[in-house]
Structures are given as C-alpha cells and as structure tokens.
Amino acid sequence: MKQIYVIISLFLMVILQACMNEPDLRSDTPRGNFNALWEIIDTRYCYLSYKQINWDSVYTEYSHKIDTVSSNFSLFDVMGEMLATLKDGHVNLYSSFDRSRYWNWYTDYPSNFNSEVLFKPHYLGADYRIAGSLRYKKIANGKVGYIYYGSFSDSFSNENINQIFNSFSSCQGIIVDVRNNGGGMLSYAEQLASYFFDKKTLTGYLSHKTGKGHSDFSTPTPLYIEPNDKVKWNKKVMILTNRMSYSATNGFVNIMKYAPNSTIIGDQTGGGGGLPFSSELPNGWMVRFSSSPMYDADMQNIEWGIKPDIQVNMNAEAEARGYDTIIEKAIGEIFK
C-alpha cells in the first residue's frame, strides 16, 4: 500500500512539474491572454471549417504583434482585430473599457430601412397601437394589417397577439416587419412564428461541439415548431427583412420559410446562425463566440443569412416621397 502511495505521489509530482514547465498559455500576461483567446476559438468556435479559416495562419499573423503591445488598450485592439477575421457578429471581446465588434455583416450592404418613412401617416403614423412590444396599425385603406417588431429581447403574450389579430380580422393579410431587429431571445422568435403554423413542422437542425477538432460535432438534432393552440393567423403573412435582421431574427425568418401562406420580402438577413457562448480569459476579459451551428430543414447552414422569396430594395425616389418600396411590394403581394 505504501508503495502505491509513493507511485501516486511521484505521478502527481510529474504532472505538477509538467504544468509548471508549460508555456504561459493561461497566465495573465499579454502572451498568455492572447494564447488563451486563440485556443478558445481554435477548440470551441463552430465555424472555422465552414468558413474555411486557417486559424493557425491567423495565429502567425497576429502573434508577432503581442510582444510589442504597450498597454491593455493595444492588447485589446490586437485581439479584437484577430477576432474580426471570423466575420461573425456574435463574436465579441469584453473588457471594462471596451467591446470589440464586427459590423461589416450589415455596414457593407444597403440599409433598406428608414424609420422616418415608417412613421409617415400612410404607415404607422402617430396613431398606431402598441401591444406588448409590437406596434401595429391597419394600412392600405384598412385592408392590410401592419406590425413592426424591433427586438426579440422584448416580450409579448398570447393575449397581445390575439388582440392584434382580432383587430386585423377584416384584413386580407398582414405584414410582420422585422427589419433592423438585431435579435434577442430565440424563444420569442419561436413563439411569434408559432401563430402562423397549423401543424408541427420541421424547421431546422442544431449541432454541438463534441471535441477540440474543427469538425467535431454531434449528430444534428431536428428542430420543430409547434402551432400555438390558442392564437392562429390563417391568411397571408409577409415577412419584411434586411441585413440588420440578425441572430434570433435570422432564426425567426428561417422558421417562417416553412409557414403556410408566408412570403419573405426585402433583403437577405444578416445571419448569425450560431448559438453564442462565453468564456473568460486569465485577465478577466470575456469572449463571446458562436459555439453551436444551426441549419435549415435541408441541412443548409444559416450563418450567412436567409435569402428572401422576393428581393426588393428601398428606392431613393420613393423614399424621398415618404414611401417604402418594400412595404409597398408586400401590400401588392397580399392583394394578388
């Protein structure tokens, strides 16, 4: 028994010595924090293979800059630049003084949204109603119901939606505008979509990382939408999108692709198909990253966004006259 204790003690000493001789991978130094960040993305970020990113080359490119950083600010900037190579709006580095961000997923594209036009009298105007977090009004001479929902972080209830649908009962169809909705709670996205389905429907798949390899994922789990058993809309519904329809909104639009009587109009959504997760660096900074990829019902990745059924851009001349060509197109589709 004593010999066993000696062997165990020697084993633990070897392990301890090995840890002490390890490079400062997780130490609170510029190099340690940089290496920790690189390793977190290397082993846990879910889109390196899909996006064909050579993460080893990225390490080589940014590693030499670490030895020249002179402050936490410069270290933060170098690490933020490295994360930007992922081209992912769900990837952020958080410190007490800043938050890194990648915004090109929408800044490189037309905005296709103008809130001033939205509040013209022939759209929402000033006399719209608010139920929960949704603004709504009858437009097009009372024949079309219009709903604007600005954030899936804001809640609503079955009663809210029931009141809205009742007020639109005489309308030929409704418009659900989720342009510039940057996301929020995926549960709210699923709840809103549930009002437009009449049966349980497969809408996508979800995988999880199962190992450190870039392609180590679980078997995709099917995702279904269940119809709401209290509130339902059976007429036409137009979903308006633009590049700033992101994250949970991207998920909502993907679900609505499979809803009966649904048409997606506008621009391709901004994407953000990966479920985000956070991890801490040795110095206490937090990094958020996409950890679980989501797919549509055909197992196509939705990270880069959802294409509309009908592509429409805002028209500058119409906009100057106070008209939104995307809304007008949706009205025309309802009247068909």
Please spell the DSSP secondary structure of 282-314, one letter per residue: TTS-EEEEEEE-EEETTS-B-TT----SEE---
Phi, psi of 276 (to 5 degrees): -80, 150
Q: Give Rg (Cα) of the chain.
A: 25
What is the DSSP-derived secondary structure letter of residue 220? P
Q: What is the pLDDT of residue 133?
A: 95
Q: Which of 21-25, 28-32, 39-43, 253-257 is predicted with the least confidence, judged by mean pLDDT?
A: 21-25
Residue 22 has pLDDT above 50, yes or no: no
Helix (H) or strand (E) holding 277: strand 275-280
The CATH architecture assigned to 115-274+290-335 reads: Alpha-Beta Complex (3.90)
Q: Given pLDDT bands bounded at 50, 70 and 90, which one contains residue 26? A: confident
Break the chain down into helix, strand, coil percent, rounded to 5.
35, 20, 45
Q: Which amino acid is residue 9, in one-letter code?
A: S
Strands 262-266 and 134-139: what pairing? unpaired
Q: H-helix or E-strand containing 118? A: helix 115-118
pLDDT for 69: 94
Instruction: Please tell me the distance from the alpha carbon of residue 248 to that of residue 267, in angstroms, as a whole number.
Output: 17
**Cα–Cα dist 245/95, whole Å:** 27
Does the model's pTM come out above 0.95? no
Is residue 325 predicted with pLDDT exceeding 70?
Answer: yes
- Closest by CA to 309, choosing from 224, 241, 225, 223, is 241
pLDDT digits over 143-179, tens only?
Answer: 999 999 999 999 999 999 999 999 999 999 999 999 9
Half-sphere exposure of 244 (CA within 13 A, CB side): 16
Give residue 8's pLDDT band: very low, low, confident or very high (50, 70, 90). very low
Exposure string over 257-289, b if 16+ CB within 10 A, otherwise e: bbbeebbbbbbbbbbbbbbbbebebbbebebbb
pLDDT at 7 over 60: no
Per-residue pLDDT band for 213 (boundaries 50, 70, 90) equals very high
pLDDT in tens, 95-148: 999 999 999 999 999 999 999 999 999 999 999 999 999 999 999 999 999 999
Does the pLDDT at position 317 exceed 70? Answer: yes
User: What percentage of the chain has pLDDT greater than the value 90?
Assistant: 92
* Neighbouring residues of 220: CB distance < 8 A, sequence distance ≥ 6: 205, 206, 207, 295, 299
CA distance 320 to 317: 5
User: Measuring CA to CA, which residue among 276, 269, 309 is closest to residue 292?
Assistant: 276
Decide if 98 contacts 83 (C-beta within 8 A): no
- Tens of pLDDT, residues 180-209: 999 999 999 999 999 999 999 999 999 999
Q: Mean pLDDT in the chain? A: 93
Return all residues near 219 (Cβ < 8 A) that are at least 6 apart: 207
Q: How confident is the model at residue 25 (pLDDT cuts 50, 70, 90)?
A: low
Number of residues written out for the chain: 336
What is the SS3 assignment for 23? coil
Strand partners, 301: 295
Bigger pLDDT: 306 vs 18: 306
